[in-house]
Amino acid sequence: MRFISTRGQTAPHSFSDAVAVGLAPDGGLFVPETLPAFDAGALARFEALKNDYAGLCFEFLRHFATDIPADTLRAIIQKSYTRFDAPDIAPLRKLDDRLHVLELFHGPTLAFKDFALQLLGNLYEHQCAVRGESINVLGATSGDTGSAAIHGLLGKPGTAIFILYPDGRTSPLQERQMACTGAENVFALAIDGTFDDAQAALKDVFGDQSFRARHHLSAVNSINLARILAQCVYYLSAWLRLPPDARAGAEFVVPTGNFGNVLAGWMLQKMGVPLRGFKVATNQNDILHRLFTTGEYRVTGVRPSLAPSMDIQVSSNFERFLYYSLGRDAARVREVMRTFKAAGRYVFENFNRDTFSASRCDDAEIPGIIRRVYEKYGYIVDPHTACALKDPDPGRPSVVLATASPAKFPDTIREAVGVEPRHPSLEALKARPLDKHKIEATPDAIKAFIAARAA
C-alpha cells in the first residue's frame, strides 16, 4: 500500500517512509492511497481475535504496513503491548445496560496515546536499525502526547526526542512524566503560549525541508498516520466485544481536541466496520463543537481548562476528514486550508457532518459530572472523560472512551468526590527533579536547540 498527501503535491510514500517523514513535504497529512474494504470474511477474522489485542492489531495493520515483513511487524506489535497493566490491554467496562466505558489508560503513561506511541517508538527503533540512520523526533503536546511519545522512545539508540509544551498549562504530573525521565535522549521544551503556538512553530520547522532532511526529523503528533492507524484498533476491539445486540446501534463518545482520536474510529467505519456513529465531546475550547453544529470552523482564544489535553483550537486531523469529505479533492483542500490560515475562519456551505454529532462541556460542569458518575456507579473518571459523560443518550448504547487515568488529575478529583486517586508510577515522579528547557516558540529557536543536540 502507498500513502499520499491530503494536499496532493507529494509523491506517494511507502508505509515506513510515511511514518519516518510524519508530515508530508507539501504541508499536508498522509492518508492511504485507497482504504481497504473489510468484507464479511475480514470481519470474521477480526472476530476470532477479539480477545487477543496484539493479534488483532497485527491482522489490521498488515493491510497498511505492507513493506515490513510479516514476522517483523508481528514482533514489533507484540513488543508494543507488553507494558500495559491490564490483561486485555483496553478493558471495556459496563456501567449499565446502555453505557460502556473503554478504558484506554492502562499503558505506561496512563493515557490513550500509549496505544499508538509505544508502537511508533518501536517502528522508529526498527527503522534506525534497518537503515543505519539516526532519527530526531519533534512533537507538540497539550498534555498526554508528549509523555507518551517520550516513553515510547526512552533510551532507544539512534534517537532523540524534542517535545514542545505550553509552560504552566499541563497538569503538574503530566509535566513530570515529560521532564523527570533522566534519559539523555529526551528534551522537554517549555514555551510561553498555548498548544496552538507550539503546533504552529512545529509545522514551520517541518516546512524547512533542508533542516528536516539534514537531521532526519520526524513528527510524533497525530499528524503521523501511524498514530491514527494504531488507534483504529481499539475501536475495532471494543466493537467486537460489545454484546451482539448493542453493536449495530452503539455510538462512540470521544473526548476530542486535535481530532485524531475520533478520526481513527471514523476511518475504521469507512473501511467497512459497521460502527454507527461518533459524538465529538469538547471542553470549553469548542472549535469542533461549533464546526459540527454550525458549519463554521473559526479560531478563538484558548482558555486553560480542567481538561488540558483538549485545550486546542486548530485541530490538525480535521484536514484528513476534510480530504475525504471533499471527495479526495486535494486542490480544494489546499484552498480551504490556505483560506483558514489567512483568515482564521472558514464557513462550509452544506457542511457534511457524516455520522458525527458534538457536545460541549464548561469547566464549571466537570466536577459535577465526575461526582454524578461516582455517586451513580462508584466509578471515577478523569476530567476529559467527564466531558464525554455530560449527556449520555438514554435511547441507545454508548461507548465512552476514557482517555486518561484520574490519577493524573488528583486536585480536580479530590474537589469533586473527596478522594485522591494515586498510581505508583506517578507517585515515584514527585521526588524527581524537573529537567525542562525554556524556549521561545519560534522556528529559529527550536531549530537551533535541535541542531545542538540532535542524535
Active site members? 113
- Can you list the alpha helix ranges (DSSP code H) found in 271-317? 287-294
CA atoms within 13 Å, Cβ hemisphere of 441: 22
The three-state secondary structure class of 296 is: strand
Contacts of 325 (CB under 8 A, 6+ apart): 352, 354
Contacts of 324 (CB under 8 A, 6+ apart): 31, 270
Residue 407 per-residue DSSP state: G
User: What is the rounded (10 degree) CA torsion for 125, 127, 130, 135?
Assistant: -80
> What is each CA distance from 364 to 145, 150, 284, 370, 412, in whole angstroms?
25, 32, 10, 11, 11
Task: Match 448504547 to its residue by C-alpha cell.
Answer: 397
CA atoms within 13 Å, Cβ hemisphere of 170: 29
The C-alpha atoms of residue 350 and residue 374 are separated, in whole angstroms, by 41
For residue 387, give the nearest of 401, 377, 374 by alpha carbon: 401
The C-alpha atoms of residue 44 and residue 415 are separated, in whole angstroms, by 46
The three-state secondary structure class of 258 is: coil
- By CB neighbour count within 10 A (0-12 exposed, 13-18 middle, 19+ buried), where does 358 fall? buried
Neighbours of 219 (CB within 10 A): 26
The C-alpha atoms of residue 216 and residue 128 are separated, in whole angstroms, by 10
Task: Match 460541549 to its residue by C-alpha cell.
Answer: 360
